[in-house]
Amino acid sequence: MKLPPQVQRVKREMEAKGWNREALAFHSGLSFRTIESIFSGERGITLASAVRLGKALGFDYEQIAPKKEVKK
């Protein structure tokens, strides 16, 4: 299964830090189940999870947030 571009970005950044999904869950404050659901394609990245993931991984959440939820 091909991951959406936003999830690919999260995966790249996570791997660059040497983290696994469990570490990403810990550092982002999201549950491991949520991280697994995002990576499996079961659920998309919400605005709230984008903010947490961006903060944990060190990039702007707008790069992975759902476009319809990001207001300029």
- Chunked into runs of 10 residues, the chain (72 residues) has average pLDDT values of 90 97 98 97 94 96 77 50
The answer to whether 32 touches 25, Cβ cutoff 8 Å, is: yes
The answer to whether 45 touches 38, Cβ cutoff 8 Å, is: yes
- Look up the domain containing 60 and give its range: 5-69
- Which parts of 1-72 fold into alpha helices (H)? 5-16, 21-28, 32-40, 47-57
Tokens of 63: 């790069």
Rounded Cα gap, residues 58 and 38, in angstroms: 19
pTM of the predicted protein model: 0.87
Any idea what the CATH number is for the domain that residue 33 is in?
1.10.260.40
- Give me the pLDDT at residue 18, please: 98
- Give me the pLDDT at residue 66, please: 79
- Give me the pLDDT at residue 68, please: 67
Domain total in the chain: 1
Question: For 65, which DSSP code?
Answer: S
